[in-house]
């Protein structure tokens, strides 16, 4: 039911490196993490890039929107200096570059489709198509594939349309009333929720209904143990330095 790793480095390297960069992935790997979550949205040229915020300014030096710049322009921007001078010049990576790094290092991926507002359908389509093209051989061989996820129902529907063979998780803050009907309609395999909003009863319901259950963002070993005891299958963490990676 949950064939995936249980413990994922959030945004590549948690809070130990500039999020959603190749440096973050290297940091995660240095801590033994071979499973990551990261966020994907579209550059102005429709190329999927790995970044969290639709606006520049917090992690990417500059102003305007991700959707104002091409992937090549974003790659030349600075997504590392905000975190520390040793990361200055670290660009916004393309999704393709991140997948290539993860595949080379045998890092499993939870690919969060993170559309900028108004770009839900094209982002879901593009990320699913790109994932399928990057994993053609693995799909044919029946190997373990990445898990797509999104808060956006429109993006999840688009991803399903573009690549129905790729499993999807539905991201929510709190598991809403009526979740099972929506999950069924979306054809997702898992519910991804904020662990602070989860209760043992909701966890039991999700598991009894046959869905995977994933939590974000769990930052102590004690809480991780508690959630696993509730039946949670996997979680991502910002504290890759305090929570050891598990198989
Ligand atoms: O995918 C889990 C988590 O990353 C969702 O929240 O804002 O960190 O993308 P956010
Ligand atoms: Mg995310």
- Please write the tens of the pLDDT for every residue from 132-183: 999 999 999 999 999 999 999 999 999 999 999 999 999 999 999 999 999 9
Q: Average pLDDT over the chain, rounded to whole?
A: 98
Please give the distance, rounded to the nearest whole angstrom, from the Cα atom of residue 85 to the centre of ligand 1.
Answer: 25
Region 176-194: what's the mean pLDDT? 98
Residue 1 has pLDDT above 90, yes or no: no
How far does Cα 223 stand from its chain's mean position?
A: 21
Which residue pairs, CB below 8 angstroms and at least 24 apart, start in 82-89?
82/18, 82/58, 83/17, 83/18, 83/19, 83/59, 84/18, 87/17, 87/18, 87/21, 87/23
Our answer on whether the CB atom of 38 is closer than 6 Å to any ligand 1 atom is: no
pLDDT (0 to 100) of residue 110? 99
* Residue spans per domain, the chain: 7-237
Closest residue by CA, ligand 1 atom 6: 216
Residue 82 has pLDDT above 90, yes or no: yes
pLDDT (0 to 100) of residue 183? 98
Band (pLDDT 50/70/90 cuts) for residue 194 is very high
Q: What's the rounded Cα separation, in Å, for the pair 107 and 195?
A: 24
CB 40 within 8 A of CB 113: yes
Catalytic residue status for 134:
no
pLDDT (0 to 100) of residue 72? 98
Residue 243 has pLDDT above 70, yes or no: yes
Region 210-223: what's the mean pLDDT? 98
pLDDT (0 to 100) of residue 27? 98
Our answer on whether the CB atom of 238 is closer than 6 Å to any ligand 1 atom is: no
Band (pLDDT 50/70/90 cuts) for residue 192 is very high
Question: Probe ligand 1: pick from 28, 35, 112, 116, max atoms within 8 Å of CB?
Answer: 112
Q: What's the rounded Cα separation, in Å, for the pair 131 and 117?
A: 21
Chain segment 90-109, per-residue pLDDT in tens: 999 999 999 999 999 999 99
How far does Cα 216 stand from its chain's mean position?
A: 10
Closest residue by CA, ligand 1 atom 7: 52
Best CATH choice for the domain 7-237 from the list 3.50.50.60, 3.30.300.20, 3.30.420.10, 3.20.20.190: 3.20.20.190
Region 22-34: what's the mean pLDDT? 98
pLDDT (0 to 100) of residue 246? 79
Please give the distance, rounded to the nearest whole angstrom, from the Cα atom of residue 124 to the centre of ligand 1.
Answer: 16
Please give the distance, rounded to the nearest whole angstrom, from the Cα atom of residue 89 to the centre of ligand 2.
Answer: 22
Kindly give the number of the ligand 1 atom that is closest to the alpha carbon of 10: 4
Our answer on whether the CB atom of 216 is closer than 6 Å to any ligand 1 atom is: yes
* Confidence (pTM): 0.98
End-to-end CA distance of the chain: 15
pLDDT (0 to 100) of residue 69? 98
Catalytic residue status for 52:
yes
């Amino acid at each position: 039911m949950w064939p995936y790793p249980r413990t994922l480095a959030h945004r590549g390297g948690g809070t130990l490196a500039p999020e959603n960069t190749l440096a973050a992935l290297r940091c995660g790997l240095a801590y033994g993490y071979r499973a990551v979550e990261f966020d994907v949205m579209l550059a102005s040229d429709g190329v999927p890039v790995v970044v969290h915020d639709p606006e520049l300014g917090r992690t990417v030096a500059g102003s305007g929107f991700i959707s104002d710049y091409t992937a090549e322009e974003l790659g030349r921007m600075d997504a590392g200096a905000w975190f520390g001078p040793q990361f200055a010049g670290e660009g916004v990576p393309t999704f393709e570059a991140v997948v290539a790094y993860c595949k080379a290092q045998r890092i499993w991926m939870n690919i969060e489709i993170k559309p900028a507002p108004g770009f839900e359908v094209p982002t879901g389509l593009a990320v699913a198509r790109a994932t399928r093209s990057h994993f053609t051989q693995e799909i044919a061989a029946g190997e373990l594939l990445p898990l797509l996820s999104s808060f956006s129902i429109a993006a999840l529907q688009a991803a399903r349309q573009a690549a129905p063979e790729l499993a999807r998780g539905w991201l929510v803050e709190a598991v809403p009333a009526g979740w099972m009907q929506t999950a069924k309609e979306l054809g997702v395999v898992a519910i991804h929720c904020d662990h602070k909003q989860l209760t043992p009863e909701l966890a039991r319901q999700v598991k009894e209904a046959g869905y995977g259950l994933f939590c974000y963002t769990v930052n102590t070993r004690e809480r991780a143990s508690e959630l696993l005891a509730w039946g949670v299958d996997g979680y991502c963490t910002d504290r890759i330095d305090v929570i050891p990676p598990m198989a």
